[in-house]
Amino acid sequence: MNNFRTFDPSNLLCPVPAVMVSCASETARPNIITIAWAGTVCSDPPMVSVSVRKNRHSHAIIRESGEFVVNLVDEKNCKALDFCGMRSGKDVDKWQACGLTPMPALNLDHAPAIAECPAYLACKVRQVLELGSHDMFIGEIVGVQVREDLFEGKDLHLESAGLVAYNHGVYQRTAEVLGFFGYSVARPEVLERRMKQYKK
Amino acid sequence: MNNFRTFDPSNLLCPVPAVMVSCASETARPNIITIAWAGTVCSDPPMVSVSVRKNRHSHAIIRESGEFVVNLVDEKNCKALDFCGMRSGKDVDKWQACGLTPMPALNLDHAPAIAECPAYLACKVRQVLELGSHDMFIGEIVGVQVREDLFEGKDLHLESAGLVAYNHGVYQRTAEVLGFFGYSVARPEVLERRMKQYKK
């Protein structure tokens, strides 16, 4: 039996997504905020949540525009991801500082996507919940684009992007594929055929 | 410049946590449900959200008890994780089927933790939001325990647990540490000293 140590009640859900959220409004130039307090919250309609402290520069921008873009982050963009969590858009143009390029996001009026990221989810704010230190913005996903080279024919292989997760203070690359949804009950021939494609 | 392909608006936030949520109530025996639609939503108080379809067996149990436990999952428990997402607690005792052991969770009355998992977060439901296909349970974290061997002295090294992420249809192990929170602006000597401990 495992031995356990009691730890302070704290945010130990791991791994969580490590993403760059981009935003802009009629009155604010585009900004980027790093978010690990994000999650998928509904399949239909497709919705994500991102939690942001009230005093963050991006909080007011998202409040004003009702829009944000969740940009997925791969290893190549990990340093920019960290930097955008360390500096405020009040002081720094993070696009310029990190060499990132804003590009129009599908179905949004203001918030741009980050052209260097492997994929983005364009979101419209449907609800805002005040939870304490953070406000949770619940966004409906209204547009998605993914880097062309992550497809094989019609199949999207996001697992090959080397996406970054946040794990209690560190950024970790997602690597080895352990199985696919349903693999524990798959027939042996299906298991073999499908797992083969992930052994690269 | 990257080329992008437009994709249906869908749940493409990746990676997301792949966790086993355990629950029980006065009238229902303990059950386990696999959840990838989970996230950290607030730092203070520490809160997580888990989204569950209304027709799932665990939905009624969590509704009744107002409790759930988020169990982190490592490679060793990945097959059980998948299995618990494939079968219903109406038909199967998943604890027995997967060889998992319920153990009391801190500060909860009914929901047990899974003794074979590397860590758990005991949660009390503070809000339930009906979003569409899924109801989002927002839980305050009231108790945390972590496997003793993941500590070095007082320092918790969750990154060494090999936790599992869900990435658009597949389970992936979190592996190589790319950096720590703040590494993009760290002084060279701090960067070198801290990164050394992750090269194992």
Predicted pLDDT of residue B200: 56
Confirm if A25 and A58 have CB atoms less than 8 A apart. Answer: no
Domain boundaries, chain B: 16-196
How many CA atoms lie less than 13 Å away from A102 in the CB half-sphere?
A: 19
Q: What is the pTM of this model?
A: 0.97
- Count Cβ–Cβ pairs < 8 Å, chain A vs chain B: 332
Q: Which residues of A touch B129 (CB under 8 A)?
A: 127, 129, 138
The C-alpha of B29 sits at a distance from chain A's nearest C-alpha, in angstroms, of 22
pLDDT digits (tens, 9 = 90+) for A168-190: 999 999 999 999 999 999 999 99
Does residue A17 carry a pLDDT above 70? yes
**pLDDT of A107 higher than 80:** yes
- For residue A30, pLDDT over 90 is answered with yes
Tokens representing B5?
């392909």
Q: Inspect the interface and report whether the beta carbons of A82 and B36 lie closer than 8 Å.
A: no
CA distance A35 to A181: 26
Under the banding of pLDDT at 50, 70 and 90, the label for residue A134 is very high
Phi first, then psi, for residue B23 (nearest 5°) are: -155, 165
Tokens describing residue A129: 């919940």
Cβ contact B159–A168 (<8 Å): yes
Average pLDDT over residues A102-125: 98
Taken as a whole, chain A contains a residue count of 200
pLDDT tens digits, one per residue of B169-197:
999 999 999 999 999 999 999 999 999 98
Q: Which residue intervals of chain B are DSSP H helices?
A: 57-65, 78-86, 94-98, 188-196
- Which range among A45-49, A86-90, A98-102, B34-38 shows the weakest confidence by mean pLDDT? A86-90
Report ipTM (2 d.p.): 0.96
Which pLDDT does position B1 carry in this prediction? 67
- Would you identify the CATH topology of the domain A16-196? Pnp Oxidase; Chain A (2.30.110)
Are A12 and B119 a contacting pair at CB < 8 A? yes
CB contact under 8 A, A16 and B14: no
Q: Which of A118, A144, A13 is nearest to B11 (CA)?
A: A144
